[in-house]
Structure 1
Amino acid sequence: MQRPGALVPHRYVAIGGRGPEDVVADARGRVLTGVEDGRILRLDGLAADAESGAEVRVEVLAETGGRPLGLELLPDDALLVCDAERGLLRVDLGDGTVRVLADSAAGERLRFCSNVVALPDGSVCFTVSSRRHPLEHWIGDLVEHTATGRLLRLAPGSDTPEVLLDGLQFANGLAVSADGSFLVVAETSECRLTRYWLSGPRAAQSEPFAENLPGMPDNLWRGTPDGPIWVALAGPRVPPLDLLHRAAPAVRRAAARVAVRAPFRPTGTVGVLAVDDTGRVVHHLARRHSGFRMVTSVCETGGHLVLGSLWERGVALCEPPEPK
């Protein structure tokens, strides 16, 4: 992979809540995100120049009663939400009504729903990062390397998801190909993207899509079908962790027990990628010694890359790459 370009910050915007884990942009350039206390927020005015004096307006759209993570806007003024505590939700953006679409799969409670996409046929696909560790112990799953992540599909009118793909290493971000023939799933602890075919001669099969990434992929975002898939890199690769993943299961379990009790502070190295539908990296931007840490999501709107974070109390606006 070529040397990364610079991830150049424009400004930081406090939003009155911690952990805007996923950021998605609507057709009007507003950004929606969910924060630690369960609120769904909409940020309006991010595109304005900071020197203009215009303030970013933060509006509370709903409260999930849990911990919202991945988001997906729907055309009927609704929002799909992966809630780490409550499961897959649908939020009416007009009145803030929250409805649970699914809270169990294959006979067990959904733990740690992560990211979601809606398909043209009305079905919804979403990921579960871990069946063993909850969100607050996410680092335990990365260390233990449990391979208990899943890709699920909820058919229209159903409340029981089917398992499309099992055995994923911390299944996370999700995006649809431009032609709708496959999904791209981020496997965070494996530093790779995986393709799952929805149609065609290889339907229901999976294969590597982009491997040996320079960091741990988190949420994915695609603004338009002809645009790239943006990949947030939550942290750089950690060689000792790669080595630990090859150790015996008992060793990994013991290390995970230590990891969930140890104080955690994210690294100052952050990055984002953009890939096309062949898995080719078209943009790679990175910054060392960043004051904005643990980038878990990225979207593009209003002439900025907007970065979200599980760690920070706001979003960061950065300079987008030059078109190729």
Structure 2
Amino acid sequence: MSEADGLRQRRPLRPQVVTNNGRVPDAEDGSSFSGRVFRVTFLMLAFVLTFPLLGAMMLLDSPIDPQPLSLKEPPPFVGALQSNTKLRQAERLFENQLVGPESIANIGDVIFTGTADGQILKLDKNEIEVIAKLGSGPCKTRDDEPTCGRPLGIRVGPNGTLFVADAYKGLFEVNPWTRDVTLLVSSETPIEGRKMSFVNDLTVTRDGRKIYFTDSSSKWQRRDFLLLFMEGIDDGRLLEYDTKTKEVKVLLDHLRFPNGVQLSPDEDFVLVSETTMARIHRFYVSGLMKGGVDLFVENLPGFPDNIRASSSGGYWIGMSTIRPNPGFSMLDFLSERPYIKRMIFKLLSQETLIKLVPRYSLVLELSSSGAFQRSFHDPDGQVVSYVSEVHEHAGHLYLGSFRAPFLCRLNLQAL
């Protein structure tokens, strides 16, 4: 054996250092390498997925062009607005037998309503009877609404007939006993040079001479109500129809989603809810203030739909979406950020967005001067959902809904 071979045999072996967790440095180096590979791969994947999304958001057109709106901080849920679960005491009527009973009227104890399939229904005890259909064709989806028709506001006139506002067709008078249907004002007729795209609610004088009604938009139809609400366009109007002269005139213009209307007990003013702005206007139709307008109540705790008289001399307001305080109002947050609205509507459909809006049904009673008197709540909409109207009759509140497959009834004496 040579001297060099002997030196190679006597060379000490390199010691292997073991860490506390029993892993060798080579293993740690491998793990670091794997971690770097994972991070690089993740970042590349995120970039690959995000870049097309951002590109799509840049290239896609938004269906709305919203302007920034400013709302006051919502009123706190204390006192008359204190959250409760009183609406959960309501009973559901005709469940899964009708859809979207938006508005309610009664002749004696017989209830009448209009539904999402374009029909006017008579609800007598446990029976449902169709008394009129304002449109034609299939009524299966929202895209069918323009031909099918969508009855919204409904009132009883002095002669026992029903006055109905159809979102697509116009104003009608319906005789519930003979089934005769008369078109009073067609949506095809321009009013002061502008079409009516979304006839909404109405209120009628005791003598039946005047009908005050809302056209929520000249641009958007009822089937696009969420687009109208989120865009905040001010093309809505309060209109007056004279049943004798057959004339229609504009009383108020530049309203953002005008909705429910209600005559005062003395018929000297009309209340009109401006849904997008969470407030109610008062327009004087007689007396010294005739032609004048002011705010009856502003900064409501939710976005108002229909307005109806209460037995106390005040008014019932139905709201399907609230502005929580304490809490976070997403709709208030978005109102001042139109760029976020644009992005949202580039990516999501109306139906998807409606499902994302938290359910919270709120019924509010206002005094004759517009003060908050009392409120009934159903947090999460467990029993009462998508409430659109509060109709008081015989000690009960009948709760209309623009979407729910039932009608609700709440016993006021039990609260």
Task: Give the TM-score normalised by the residue count of structure 1.
Answer: 0.88
> Match of 1:244?
334
**How much identity, in percent, do the aligned residues show?**
29
Change (3 A) 1:253 1:110: farther
Contact 1:18 1:313 in 2 (8 A): yes
1:69 aligns with 2:164: no
Give the structure with the larger helix fraction: 2
1:14 aligns with 2:94: yes
Secondary structure of 1:272's counterpart equals strand
Secondary structure of 1:277's counterpart equals coil
Contact 1:182 1:199 in 2 (8 A): yes
Change (3 A) 1:87 1:260: farther
My pick for the range that moved more, 132-141 or 291-300, is: 291-300
Aligned pairs for 1:50-199 (under 5 A) are 56-65=126-135, 66-103=149-186, 104=189, 105-120=191-206, 122-199=209-286
TM-superposed deviation, 1:223: 5.7
Change (3 A) 1:146 1:176: same
Q: Following the alignment from structure 1 to structure 2, what is the Cα–Cα distance between the partners of residues 190 and 218?
A: 12
Change (3 A) 1:90 1:258: farther
- Alignment gaps of 5+ in structure 1: 46-55
Contact 1:267 1:294 in 2 (8 A): no
My pick for the range that moved more, 252-261 or 86-95, is: 252-261
Give the letter for the 1:101 counterpart. L
Secondary structure of 2:90's counterpart equals strand
Aligned pairs for 1:307-322 (under 5 A) are 307-320=399-412
Q: Which of residues 361, 365, 371 is equivalent to 1:270? A: 361
Change (3 A) 1:322 1:270: same
Cα shift readout 1:97-122 (whole Å, capped 9, x = no counterpart): 21111123223332111110112461
> Match of 1:53?
none
Secondary structure of 1:33's counterpart equals strand
Give the letter for the 1:209 counterpart. F
Contact 1:63 1:96 in 2 (8 A): no
Q: Following the alignment from structure 1 to structure 2, what is the Cα–Cα distance between the partners of residues 262 and 11?
A: 27
Q: Which of residues 293, 296, 299 is equivalent to 2:391? A: 299
Give the letter for the 1:12 counterpart. R
Contact 2:121 2:132 in 1 (8 A): yes
Aligned pairs for 1:18-29 (under 5 A) are 18-26=99-107, 28-29=108-109
Aligned CA-pair RMSD: 2.3
Give the letter for the 2:128 counterpart. V
Q: Following the alignment from structure 2 to structure 1, what is the Cα–Cα distance between the partners of residues 204 and 232?
A: 28
1:229 aligns with 2:321: no
> Match of 1:285?
376
**Based on CA coordinates, which of the two structures has the bigger radius of gyration?**
2
Contact 2:269 2:284 in 1 (8 A): yes
Change (3 A) 1:254 1:106: farther
TM-superposed deviation, 1:251: 6.6
Give the letter for the 2:98 counterpart. G
Task: Give the TM-score normalised by the residue count of structure 2.
Answer: 0.69
The number of residue pairs the alignment matches comes to 310
Cα shift readout 1:138-189 (whole Å, capped 9, x = no counterpart): 0001100011111000123344411100111111111111211111111111
Cα shift readout 1:196-247 (whole Å, capped 9, x = no counterpart): 11123322121111111111110111266x6321111121127332233334
Change (3 A) 1:123 1:257: farther
Contact 2:158 2:206 in 1 (8 A): no
Change (3 A) 1:321 1:278: farther
Contact 1:139 1:260 in 2 (8 A): no
Secondary structure of 1:7's counterpart equals helix
Give the letter for the 1:38 counterpart. G
- Alignment gaps of 5+ in structure 2: 1-77, 136-148
